[in-house]
Amino acid sequence: MLRSTSPLLSLFAFLLVWGAALVSAVSTTGNRLLAVFDDVGEKENYSKFLGDLEGRGFQISYETPKSESLALFHLGERAYDHVIFFPTKTKGLGPNLTPQILVNFLNANGNILHTLSSTTTTPNTLISLLAELDITLPTERTGLVVDHFSYDTLSAAETHDVLALPPPVPVRNDISPLFSADAPAGQLLAFPHGVGAVLGPREQLTPILRAPKTAYSYNPKEQSEVLEANELFAAGQQLSLVTAFQAINSARFVLLGSAEMLQDKWFLAEVAAPGGKSVKTFNREFAKRVSAWAFQELGVLRVNWIEHHLNEVSAVNESNPHIYRVKNDVTYTISLSEYAYDKWTSFSLPANDVLQLEFSMLSPFHRLPLSLDKAHSSPEASAYTASFKLPDQHGIFNFKVNYKRPFFTNIEEKNTVSVRHMAHDEWPRSFVISGAWPWIAGIGATVSGWVVFVALWMYSAPTDKKVGSKKTN
């Protein structure tokens, strides 16, 4: 039974209505977008992509790295919420966009979409940034991904440097199929003149789109005909064409290997794989999804409220108390919502996935699955609950929900409670314990015998009046 959450629920509803009244579809972290071009005129090539973004509610500012007024932070706060880096020919990005500033931007919950091109070398700033994120590019700071088996026969029949790929499928069963095609099958994604990256083992990295097994990356300027094995940068599925990075604070960084795939030309083109017929590219839809994910419109989770209470018969109606007692029965409920482009909906767990609750002090004492609580769920939020008995150990414990999945916001909630020992009057009384009755009887016998004895003594004759009557105190 939920107690005293109605204020929370009503506040939440109010905010929802108010928020909904303001904007139609927008990112959950703000709509100020910065697009960095070498030359602002280049934005015409991306007009559809940028138009889509503006249609989703973003306010786009266009800057070049050399401009002096460019600042990601103003008075300690973010000046922009999202940044897109288009390929720039400069060696560095200038003093306003140092790697440290970019890392700080991520730490300040800003999101970055970084696009590469095989025709331009990536600026050193961005190479340093990628190194901090454990993403490695070829040493020449650019490369070219070719595949002699999955290329676009219509535009790159000789050079094989435009890849025609099926839309990505999740590489592991815990990855959500956000970027896959819904239907129909047979869609193809054009990946023209792109750069593949090699990812380190860091947990925050997940490849969105990997190169097919037959692809490889090489430097067209220096390496031409034959590639030695030890000169190969990477090949096959080690090449990540579109990479997702989600920091611990859920700031997102997407590395898009080919900036060209966002151009209008490729949104409207048709591609054909070898031996296949030509289809329209999936690029526009893919670009929408990738940018929506990068800019916190897709795959965003939110914890609405958490409530735990004592689940015993004699309990007082109190939510989230600070102290429990050993072996109390408690119930824990957490309410989650998911955001998709424009509204918060209830979050439904993927099929094989479990949302777990840990009750831990230094290490978990309980690790329980949370089950859907229909009573507190609604179309905008779903509640998950678990009930259990606290361990027979006093201390300072945490209710921990740690739900970190690729492409979903990190959920890490910790509620601290103290679990106290039994108070001196919470132990069963001795007359309740059957083993104690003989000794209660013993004491009773002693006391009653004593009372009888005292009565008899006072009534019986004193031994000797002569000697003992004088008080000598």
Partner 1 sequence: MAPKRNNANRGASPNPKTATTTSATVPLPPNPPPSAPIPGSRPSSSHSAAHPKTSASAPVSQTWDKVVSNLTSHYQKSTPQRTKLLDAFMAFLVLVGVLQFVYCVVAGNYPFNAFLSGFGATVGQFVLTASLRIQTTEANKNDFPAVSPERAFADYVVCSLILHFFCVNFIN
Partner 2 sequence: MSAETLQVLADVGKGKSTRGVLRVIILALIAGASIASRLFSVIRFESIIHEFDPWFNFRATKYLVANGFYNFWDWFDDRTWHPLGRVTGGTLYPGLMVTSGAIWHALRALTIPVDIRNVCVLLAPAFSGLTAVAAYLLTNEMTTYNSAGLLAALFMGIAPGYISRSVAGSYDNEAIAIFLLVFTFYLWIKALKQGSMLWGALCALFYGYMVASWGGYAFITCLLPLHAFVLILMGRYSTRLYVSYTTWYALGTLASMQIPFVGFLPVKTSEHMPALGIFGFLQLLAFLDYVRSAIPSRQFQTFLWLFAGGIFVMSLAALVVATSAGVIAPWSGRFYSLWDTGYAKIHIPIIASVSEHQPTAWPAFFFDLNLLIFVFPVGVYLCFQELADEHVFIIVYAVFGSYFAGVMVRLMLTLTPVVCVAGAIAISTILNNYLVAKTPTEEDQQAAEAAEKKGSKSGLKSATKPVVGIYGLWSKSLMVAGMAVYLLIFVMHCTWVTSNAYSSPSVVLASRMPDGSQHIIDDYREAYQWLRQNTKEDAKIMSWWDYGYQIGGMADRPTLVDNNTWNNTHIATVGKAMSSREEVSYPIMRQHEVDYVLVVFGGLLGYSGDDINKFLWMVRIAEGIWPDEVSERAFFTPRGEYRVDGEATETMKNSLMYKMSYYNFNNLFPPGQAVDRMRQARLPEVGPSLSTLEEAFTSENWIIRIYKVKDLDNVGRDHISATAFEKGLKKKKTTKKRGPRVLRVD
Q: How far is the CB of 427 from partner 2 (least distance, A)?
A: 11
Q: Does 203 bind partner 2 (CB under 8 A)?
A: yes
Euclidean distance between CA atoms 55 and 253, whole angstroms: 22
Q: How far is the CB of 406 from partner 1 (least distance, A)?
A: 55
Euclidean distance between CA atoms 208 and 111, whole angstroms: 16
Euclidean distance between CA atoms 271 and 135, whole angstroms: 29
Task: Kindly tell me which of 44 and 318 has the beta carbon lying closer to partner 2.
Answer: 318
Euclidean distance between CA atoms 407 and 287, whole angstroms: 15
Tell me which residues in 181-200 interact with partner 2 (CB under 8 A): 198-200
Q: Retrieve residue 307's tokens.
A: 């409530």
Q: Does 230 bind partner 1 (CB under 8 A)?
A: no
Q: Which does 440 bind (CB under 5 to 8 A by kind): partner 2, partner 1, none?
A: partner 1
Q: How far is the CB of 402 from partner 2 (least distance, A)?
A: 13
Positive or negative, the CA dihedral 272, 277, 280, 286 is negative
Provide CB contacts within 8 A for 20, sequence distance 6+: 343
Q: Retrieve residue 228's tokens.
A: 């030695």
Q: Binding segment for partner 1 among 41-49, 55-63, 237-245, 435-443 (CB under 8 A)?
A: 435-443
Q: How far is the CB of 392 from partner 1 (least distance, A)?
A: 18
Q: Which does 467 bind (CB under 5 to 8 A by kind): partner 1, partner 2, none?
A: partner 1
Tell me which residues in 220-259 interact with partner 2 (CB under 8 A): 230, 237-238, 245, 247-249, 251
Asked if residues 10 and 54 have their Cβ atoms less than 8 Å apart, the reply is no
Residue with tokens 């996935």: 353
Q: Retrieve residue 20's tokens.
A: 């909904």
C-alpha triplet 84, 86, 92: angle, nearest 5°: 100
Q: Retrieve residue 49's tokens.
A: 């992509």
Tell me which residues in 11-40 interact with partner 1 (CB under 8 A): none
C-alpha triplet 154, 157, 197: angle, nearest 5°: 100
Q: How far is the CB of 218 from partner 2 (least distance, A)?
A: 16
Provide CB contacts within 8 A for 240, sequence distance 6+: 196, 197, 198, 199, 207, 208, 209, 210, 211, 255, 257
Rg (CA), the chain: 34
Q: How far is the CB of 18 from partner 2 (least distance, A)?
A: 31
Q: Does 461 bind partner 1 (CB under 8 A)?
A: yes
Q: Which residues of 265-292 are buried (b: 16+ CB within 10 A; e: fewer)?
A: ebbebebbbeeeeeeebbbbbbbbbbbb
Q: Does 467 bind partner 1 (CB under 8 A)?
A: yes
Q: How far is the CB of 455 from partner 1 (least distance, A)?
A: 11
Q: Retrieve residue 265's tokens.
A: 């030309």
Binding mask 379-418 for partner 1 (x = CB under 8 A): ----------------------------------------
Euclidean distance between CA atoms 231 and 223, whole angstroms: 9
Q: Does 101 bind partner 2 (CB under 8 A)?
A: no
Task: Kindly tell me which of 14 and 450 has the beta carbon lying closer to partner 1.
Answer: 450
Q: Does 149 bind partner 1 (CB under 8 A)?
A: no
Residue ranges binding partner 2 (CB under 8 A): 99-100, 103, 106-107, 128, 131-134, 139, 171-172, 198-204, 207, 210, 230, 237-238, 245, 247-249, 251, 323, 361-362, 394-397, 416, 418-421, 423-425
Which residues sit at the interface with partner 1, rule CB under 8 A?
Answer: 427, 429-430, 433, 435-436, 438-443, 445-447, 449-450, 453-454, 456-457, 460-464, 466-473
